Chains A and B, each alone.
Chain A
Amino acid sequence: MESRTVSIPADLYEKIEERIGETGFESVSDYVTYVLREVLASLEGEEKEEVFTEEEEEKVKERLRALGYLD
């Protein structure tokens, strides 16, 4: 995957470096990428209560009904 560089304060970088010693992450970049993805996903999860569009939801319901889960 293509990468870009972002800046973070040096003291934060050092703190992360200390922390990943125990976790097994290979680099500060790996750790930061992982944490940011988690944060974004949980935000999206909260914002996006409706994960299916109306049409998708109908399609899924129809299928689940045909599969016997929604009798």
Chain B
Amino acid sequence: MRVFVIGLDSAPPELLFGEFLEDLPNIRRIIERSIFGPMKSCIPAITIPAWMVMATGKTPGELGLYGFRHRKGNSYRDIWIAHSLMVKEKAVWDYIIPKKSVLVGVPPSYPPKPVNGCMISCFITPDSSVNYTFPKELKAEVEKLVGEYIFDVVFRKEDRDAVIEEVREMTEKRFEVIRYLIDRDWQYFQFVEIGLDRIHHAFWKYFDTRHHLHEPDSRYKNVVRDYYKLLDKEIGKTIKLLDEDTAIVIVSDHGIKRMKGCFAVNQWLIDEGMLKIRNSRLKPGTRFEQLDVDWSRTTAWAWGGYYARIFLNVKGREPEGTIKQSEYERVREEVADMIKSIKGPNGERWNTRVFYPEDIYPVVRGDRPDMMVYFDDLYWRSAGTLGYESPYLLENDTGPDDAVHSEYGVFALHLPDMQEARHVESEIYDFAPTVLKLLGVEANLRGRSLI
């Protein structure tokens, strides 16, 4: 048995299994003969760490990965960017050795690490001038095949047509490389297509009639659907090349849904007296790094993104900490209660969720925040920037973006002998045990095999 994993970054069950399925003949054929259903992501439900949580079966706490950036120790300003060498836990492709693997774009996979097989790194690769493959020689083969390989497309710009073209080109090149690598010797093959996430974020408001900025009859209204059709066509061409004895998995790291707005969390912390700054006037869009913070009077500060990270300023831990260690739990509870009581711009109740790392992970390694926050269950993005009239922004603070993450991604597993579909509810932690079982390897992981 071989396992071929199709990773579609941010594919939500509502679209892949629902609204768009009729238009996707190749994907439909897989789904109709599979066990499939929504798959609950990790906390935080974000690309890094979610793909590695899936591949290792370990929690973000065990991996010590809580997002794309982390504080260096307890510094106020120094950060490090997540990369492949920070993943120390074994992934599926390590467990199955000596069986061989092919990996394309599984984040974070830059710099490329040796694998028993071959790999191409992911979208955190600085650009195509660096070495981005293992073995090194593969890079020349990739470039001979498709010219310059494209890792990612920045979507937050006004030139929408350019985004569509660039994402299409990136995806077509990636699938060409994937089909080329199918000829290699492997038992495990996984790729991640990031283009879907970029298309979702850039074009969501044009097709989702419930979006507060929805533009009816825009010429972009079918961009999201058309991109799913492109994926379906490429997937169809690709799975034709697989032999009979191959299991096919379709999976995503998290889902996606309409963004209701951005909440400027640092601005709120200032209003509540928890963050003290010396700047007199702030221009809209001021970044946290540009603030002159009075740390000696500050209780808490935050990082934005699709979820928020809150840091407390603790005596003996931060350089100018103010919260006594003995008061830590009490202050954290107070701040969390205040965050949970934040209401929407029209006084509406929000379903805000606050997580403490020690409560949700068995082990908490590395540079963790004191709290992670989903404002209104992720419907409200967290903006780290500030200087606005109100902390509620109806448009994204840093360029056009219409969508936020949702907690449920997708899982579908087609085995060669399956003739019908069966619904299954799964968690991201079930992926590794399921794949390992298919490949005949036992590992003691927290998830359960779905077969």
Contacts and interface: CB of A to CB of B under 8 A. Distances in A.
Contacts of B98: 23-26, 30, 34
Given A52-B83, A68-B306, A63 B152 contact: yes
Interface in B386-437: 396-399, 401
A1 B85 contact: no
Contacts of B198: 67
Contacts of B363: none
Interface string A40-66: 110011001001100011011101111
A11 interface: no
Given A1-B135, A59-B126, A71 B152 contact: no
A40 B134 CA distance: 14
Interface residues of A, number: 30
B85 A48 contact: yes
Interface size class, chain B: 35 or more
A39 B135 CA distance: 16
A71 B81 contact: no
Contacts of B383: 71
Contacts of B69: 61, 64, 69-70
Contacts, number: 84
Interface in B99-128: 99, 110-111, 113-114, 116, 124, 126-127
A37 interface: yes
A70 B397 CA distance: 12
Contacts of A68: 156, 201, 305-306, 381, 396, 398, 401
Contacts of A45: 85
Interface in A2-52: 23-26, 30, 34, 37-38, 40-41, 44-45, 48, 51-52
A71 B135 contact: no
A34 B94 CA distance: 11
B68 interface: yes
A67 B97 contact: no
Contacts of B135: 1
A60 B83 CA distance: 11
16 contacts: A23-B97, A24-B99, A38-B114, A41-B114, A48-B85, A52-B83, A59-B127, A66-B156, A66-B157, A66-B398, A67-B154, A68-B156, A68-B381, A70-B69, A71-B384, A71-B397
Give 5 nearest A-B pairs by CB, closest first: A71-B304, A56-B126, A45-B85, A37-B114, A69-B68
Given A40-B114, A56-B130, 16 more contacts: A1-B135, A24-B98, A26-B98, A48-B85, A51-B83, A51-B110, A52-B83, A59-B126, A63-B152, A66-B156, A66-B157, A66-B399, A68-B306, A69-B305, A70-B384, A71-B303
Interface of A: 1, 23-26, 30, 34, 37-38, 40-41, 44-45, 48, 51-52, 56-57, 59-61, 63-71
